[in-house]
Structure 1
Amino acid sequence: MAIVMRPIQALRLWQQVTLSQVRGDAPDLTMRQVTILLTIYLDPPPHTVRGLAEKLGVTKPVITRALDTMGALKLVSRHRDERDKRNVLVKRTVEGALYIERIGDDIIAKALDLPL
């Protein structure tokens, strides 16, 4: 099924979803943090700090700072790679999966409310 939207409708959908996130009781993440989180949950693992930095075109410290925040919120966890101690593996959590699922549900709900 193809969804056809005009640019103004797509922007309105984005506005409604982000407004819902800001107003809700879920953690208020930055655009960068949400992008990292979506990458972790939508792209197949394994995920490393180095790999995320390369994929998103940012430095490892940028990823580390974002993961610090998301780790404190239990949206992701980090573990040293036992096979290569230089790598830090980033893993999904139940809390993070539920957070992402709620965003997906919100996108669908807001899209259904858009005027055609």
Structure 2
Amino acid sequence: MRPIQALRLWQQVCLHEVRDDAHDLTMRQMAILFTIYLDPPPHTVRGLAAKLGVTKPVITRALDTMGAMKLVSRHRDENDRRNVLIRRTVEGALYVERFGDDIVAKALDLPT
């Protein structure tokens, strides 16, 4: 895939998300969401902050938004009450799966 094709694919996916009135996530929120769903758990605020190279408050704000959308949930770690574990939700899993399906569908529609 050439860079222009990759950009066209990304444009088509973004347009579909806007037209479909899907969750309006920032790039940072998408990176966090995909990390939670594609990398093996457990996920913590501290771990996500380190992986993405941002502060814990940045992760917390993003999780607040995604939690309100029911894409993720947060729970105290029973083994270490200082840690907050981030968990996947059914709604979030369905969103990520649909997003992946949309990327595949749009990629198949690209001219070669």
The verdict on a shared fold, with TM-score over 0.5 as the criterion, is yes
The equivalent residue for 2:9 is 13
The offset of 1:25, in angstroms, is 2.5
1:13-35 deviation digits (Å, cap 9, x = unpaired): 01111111111122111111011
1:74 alignment counterpart? 70
Tell me if 1:101 matches 2:107: no
Q: Matched residues in 2 for 1:11 and 1:37: separation?
A: 21
> Secondary structure in 1 aligned to 2:87?
strand
CA distance in 2, matches of 1:63, 1:75: 14
Aligned to 1:48: 44
Question: Alpha-carbon deviation of 1:92?
Answer: 0.1
Tell me how far apart the structure 1 counterparts of residues 49 and 87 of structure 2 sit (CA, whole Å). 15
Q: Secondary structure in 2 aligned to 1:52?
A: helix
- Mapped partners of 2:56, 2:70: distance in 1: 20
Residue identity in the other structure for 1:91: R
Measure, in 2, the Cα distance between the counterparts of 1:47 and 1:61. Answer: 15
SS at match of 2:23: coil
Unaligned runs of 5+ in 2: none
Is there any run of 5+ residues in structure 1 with no aligned partner, and where? none
* Structure 1 runs of 4+ with >3 Å offset: none
TM-score normalised by L of structure 1: 0.95
- The residue type equivalent to 2:82 in the other structure is R
